[in-house]
Amino acid sequence: KEGESRASLGRERYLERMRAFIEATRTVILDQQRRVGGSCDWGRLRFTMDEVSARAVRVAFLRLHEKGLAYRTEALVNWCPGCRTSVSDLEVLPTPETGTLWSVRYHLIDEATGRPDPDATLTVATTRPETILGDTAVAVHPDDPRYAALVGRRVRIPFVERDVPVIADAVVDPAFGTGAVKITPAHDHDDNETGKRHGLAMPTILDDEARVTGTGTPYDGLDRYEARQRIVADLAAQGDLAGERAHEMVIGRCQRSNDVVEPRLKTQWFVRTAPLAAAALEATRSGRTTILPARLEKTWEHWMTNIRDWNVSRQLWWGHRIPAWYCPDGHATVSAEPEGPAACATCGRPAAELVQDPDIFDTWFSSGLWPFSTLGWPEPTDDLARYYPGSVMETGYDILFFWVARMMMLGIELTGEAPFHTVYLSGLIRDPYGQKLSKTKGNTVDPLDTIEVLGADALRFALVYGATPGNDQRFGQAKVENARNFANKLWNATRFVLGARPSTVPDGSGRRLPDPAHLGPADRWVLSRAAATIAAVDHAMADYNFGEVSRLLYEAIWSEYCDWGLELAKVRLADPDRTDAEREATWWALVDALDVYLRLLHPVMPFITERLWQGLPHTDDDPGLLIVARWPGARARDEAAEAEVGALVELVRAIRNARADAKVEPAAWLPLDVYVEPSLGHALEGLRPAIERLARARPLRRHLTPEDLHGTASATGGLTVIAGPAEAIIGQPAGEAGAAGADRARLEKELADTERLLAAARARLANDAFTSKAPPAIVEGARASEAELADQAERLRDRLAR
């Protein structure tokens, strides 16, 4: 609630609030579930706070501690004064800001008198003057001639009146500021390292809320920023402020509270990451775990090789409490038992005298155990044996380090096996303007709102459709609408198929496969395209290319199955010349292909495919639920049928183009005749009714021969169409003249295009380098293409000559 914080509530009321929150969340989820239907076993869906995973956390920590991989020490940690807790390196966000760089004069100590020399000064540059109070040295670069003589001398720190040495350290950049750096080992990561190298004292001068403390100066009790102002003013007053200027810098802010993080010395628990990271690296390098996309493996390598020890202590209240108990002498005992150890492991003091660490674990510590703690680890449960290690971890690349890295490190250490063989990293969803979704910007999308309007399948399909591994995608309503339209298309296609059942197939009859003996070319084409789609989808799936999977299915279902398959089937089903057996075969082919598509699409659109699939005829051994139905196996394609229908598609498209070009009334049914080259003639002959229907033409009583094919169009004022191995003449409706000229112009343009391509093809083939160096298959393809173009050009010329 607004205005309530961990600090204002106190521990008990805080925890009470949190429990209430979780209960409320649970109510919402249950309510959703009730609306959607289905059931949920709450016994198996537990928050990680419950006793099962709590035990996993304690045991994990105990094991790490026993191996010396968890240790407690005073070290510099990132401290958020707002949250009053330490945070991990990853939770500190570097934020560019304009600050001030002040130059401050420190007075050198006159070695003779032991007093500061009023005239001899060393000027240091700092963005944080308040930390002067914690300075224990001034550092210069060892090779800096300006300061060579000063190394080893002492300067006086103002206000605290402390004398500190001038030291030489290569960390100093002589070109920055004055080339002299004040060293505050307790409040800066660099300075801390320098301090350790030189054995400097590390006085802490800021308390938990970032107020100055323990300096013995009047600044004690002031907030850090107030102290900064006062110190700058006081330095100026006493003439020791040498200058100030604006300075672009990067400041660390707390991911949660946005407060400026202060490095502080704290006694905390750490996990030694070097050996864990080495094992995680070994897993990826050996290929036992693969990171996708592969380029992110580089990032992973870099991070894992530069990782620092992990501070796991948090001074928060909601979380797994660290299972360490301390005796009055400060000995730490780690125990996996909830009530703690019976006695101090070091000195044997009884449990009654021990006090548990008040801190809790970093949330990613327990999350890092998730792949096995959820399966009952450390108990050797059946679930663990069966489901660990897992297979694929899918998550956004933004938590590769936060979560995946921790799961890998802890998983390998505690179970001996990497928790998954593949890490698939998806991109992030951005808003339509490319902005990162964020609550503060208010550009977040509630999926439930989208689902309410356009459906869960549409949302899911849209997200998968746009996904390329590791690449962000902009997300807008339009994409979901397109996916919704696709769902609608699928729905209607299924409705059509079910409604087109031949009367000779009894309602409710079991599933049958189409009888090959009675299939027409269009039917064989439908089945062949389904076979091709199975292969393509399998291939894309194996590559984790889910975007490609959805694109393949969209294309196959909409542009092939619906646009041509169903249209061709309509003709055949309505054709009085076909036998019942043929109509049945056609229908069963439609059902079969639809069944395949629904199965393939199910992972991407689970709800609608399930619903539609259940309405299809089934065999006795179908499970009745698509979600557990078999994935389609590989099938043979029918090259001949694909060529035949391919030619049909080409011809029909050409006819439609010609009609559109000539602006023939769409409603006009033109007389049509088709001449097909003998090689394909027979099959297209069988598809004649389909061509007529799809081209909106009606049959001519007399079929044309090659001889009178030429001449008919101009004679009748009709249109000539030449497409691949087929030619067609469509006649003008009576009373409409003038198309002959348009027909001629169109054919001339087509001839020009064809000749341009033909010239290019011939030039390529005339190039010896091409024919000698290109692979034979490519050259063959070029030859075939050249022949085809030459033929086409020849026919167009012939046509125009008459």
User: Interaction with RNA in 328-387: which residues (CB under 7 A)?
Assistant: none
Distance CA 134, CA 348 (A): 39
The verdict on 760 binding RNA (CB under 7 A) reads yes
* Shortest separation between residue 125's beta carbon and RNA, angstroms: 4
Of 65, 72, 156, 182, the one binding RNA by CB under 7 A = 182
The verdict on 666 binding RNA (CB under 7 A) reads yes
The verdict on 570 binding RNA (CB under 7 A) reads yes
Distance CA 450, CA 472 (A): 20
Measured CA to CA in angstroms, residue 799 lies from 642, 710, 793 at distances of 28, 6, 10
The answer to whether 718 touches 732, Cβ cutoff 8 Å, is yes
The verdict on 451 binding RNA (CB under 7 A) reads no
Nearer to RNA, 552 or 709 (CB): 552
The verdict on 576 binding RNA (CB under 7 A) reads no
Of 5, 267, 485, 579, the one binding RNA by CB under 7 A = 485
Nearer to RNA, 53 or 367 (CB): 367
Nearer to RNA, 300 or 588 (CB): 300
Of 558, 689, 700, 712, the one binding RNA by CB under 7 A = 558
| Residues 500-529, interacting with RNA (CB under 7 A) | 500
Of 105, 162, 484, 529, the one binding RNA by CB under 7 A = 484
The verdict on 635 binding RNA (CB under 7 A) reads no
Site string for RNA, 412-431 (x = CB under 7 A): ------------------x-
Side chain identity at residue 735, one-letter code: G
Using the structure block, give the residue that is written with the tokens 């004649």.
688
The verdict on 441 binding RNA (CB under 7 A) reads no
Distance CA 741, CA 718 (A): 10
Of 27, 229, 471, 679, the one binding RNA by CB under 7 A = 471
- The count of other CB atoms within 10 Å of the CB of residue 795 is 19
Distance CA 261, CA 197 (A): 24
Instruction: Pull the structure tokens for residue 191.
Output: 């300075």
With H, G, I as helix, E, B as strand and everything else as coil, classify residue 123: strand
Of 179, 203, 632, 671, the one binding RNA by CB under 7 A = 179
With H, G, I as helix, E, B as strand and everything else as coil, classify residue 403: helix
Nearer to RNA, 384 or 761 (CB): 761
Nearer to RNA, 215 or 273 (CB): 273
Nearer to RNA, 344 or 664 (CB): 664
The verdict on 434 binding RNA (CB under 7 A) reads yes
Question: Is the N-terminal amide bond of 733 cis, ω within 30° of 0?
Answer: no
- The count of other CB atoms within 10 Å of the CB of residue 593 is 28
Measured CA to CA in angstroms, residue 212 lies from 151, 275, 674 at distances of 30, 38, 95
Residue 318 neighbours by CB under 8 Å, 6+ apart? 14, 15, 18, 360
The verdict on 196 binding RNA (CB under 7 A) reads no
Q: What share of the chain is helix, strand, coil (3-state, %, to 5)?
A: 50, 20, 35
The verdict on 493 binding RNA (CB under 7 A) reads yes
Of 175, 628, 634, 766, the one binding RNA by CB under 7 A = 175
| Residues 286-315, interacting with RNA (CB under 7 A) | 295, 298-299, 302-303, 306
Nearer to RNA, 268 or 473 (CB): 473
Residue 144 backbone phi and psi in degrees, to 5 = -80, 110
The verdict on 478 binding RNA (CB under 7 A) reads yes
The answer to whether 261 touches 79, Cβ cutoff 8 Å, is yes
* Shortest separation between residue 231's beta carbon and RNA, angstroms: 14
The verdict on 715 binding RNA (CB under 7 A) reads no
The verdict on 71 binding RNA (CB under 7 A) reads no
Of 17, 653, 744, 762, the one binding RNA by CB under 7 A = 653
Nearer to RNA, 19 or 197 (CB): 197
Alpha-carbon dihedral 220, 226, 227, 232, rounded to 10 degrees: -160
- By rule CB under 7 A, what count of residues binds RNA? 93
The answer to whether 587 touches 470, Cβ cutoff 8 Å, is no
The verdict on 669 binding RNA (CB under 7 A) reads no
Distance CA 327, CA 333 (A): 8
Site string for RNA, 124-163 (x = CB under 7 A): -xxxx-----------------------------------
Residue 719 backbone phi and psi in degrees, to 5 = -115, 140
The verdict on 761 binding RNA (CB under 7 A) reads yes
* Shortest separation between residue 229's beta carbon and RNA, angstroms: 18
Of 195, 341, 547, 725, the one binding RNA by CB under 7 A = 547
Site string for RNA, 201-240 (x = CB under 7 A): ----------------------------------------
Chain centroid to CA 413: 27
Q: Which of 120, 155, 161, 119 is nearest to 137 (CA)?
A: 155
Of 143, 563, 736, 748, the one binding RNA by CB under 7 A = 563
Chain centroid to CA 633: 29
Distance CA 138, CA 462 (A): 59
The verdict on 94 binding RNA (CB under 7 A) reads yes
The verdict on 442 binding RNA (CB under 7 A) reads no
Only segment of 20-28, 409-417, 478-486, 794-802 that touches RNA (CB under 7 A):
478-486
Of 17, 489, 618, 637, the one binding RNA by CB under 7 A = 489
The answer to whether 115 touches 161, Cβ cutoff 8 Å, is no
Nearer to RNA, 55 or 182 (CB): 182
Nearer to RNA, 259 or 753 (CB): 753
* Shortest separation between residue 454's beta carbon and RNA, angstroms: 9
H-state helical runs in 500-629:
521-542, 546-554, 567-574, 580-601, 606-615
Helix (H) or strand (E) holding 202: none
The verdict on 198 binding RNA (CB under 7 A) reads no
Residue 694 neighbours by CB under 8 Å, 6+ apart? 567, 568, 571, 652
The verdict on 264 binding RNA (CB under 7 A) reads no
Distance CA 480, CA 492 (A): 18
* Shortest separation between residue 137's beta carbon and RNA, angstroms: 12
The answer to whether 290 touches 423, Cβ cutoff 8 Å, is yes
Chain centroid to CA 277: 24
The answer to whether 1 touches 9, Cβ cutoff 8 Å, is no
* Shortest separation between residue 278's beta carbon and RNA, angstroms: 18
Instruction: Pull the structure tokens for residue 759.
Output: 């010239």
Nearer to RNA, 46 or 298 (CB): 298
* Shortest separation between residue 90's beta carbon and RNA, angstroms: 6
The answer to whether 660 touches 537, Cβ cutoff 8 Å, is no
Instruction: Pull the structure tokens for residue 488.
Output: 């609608």
Radius of gyration of the chain (CA): 39
The verdict on 566 binding RNA (CB under 7 A) reads yes
Of 26, 46, 474, 749, the one binding RNA by CB under 7 A = 474
Nearer to RNA, 65 or 795 (CB): 795
The verdict on 774 binding RNA (CB under 7 A) reads yes
The answer to whether 530 touches 518, Cβ cutoff 8 Å, is no
Q: Which long-range contacts (CB under 8 A, 24 or more apart) does 346-351 make?
A: 351/325
Of 492, 579, 614, 679, the one binding RNA by CB under 7 A = 492
Nearer to RNA, 250 or 274 (CB): 250
Nearer to RNA, 127 or 712 (CB): 127
Nearer to RNA, 299 or 415 (CB): 299
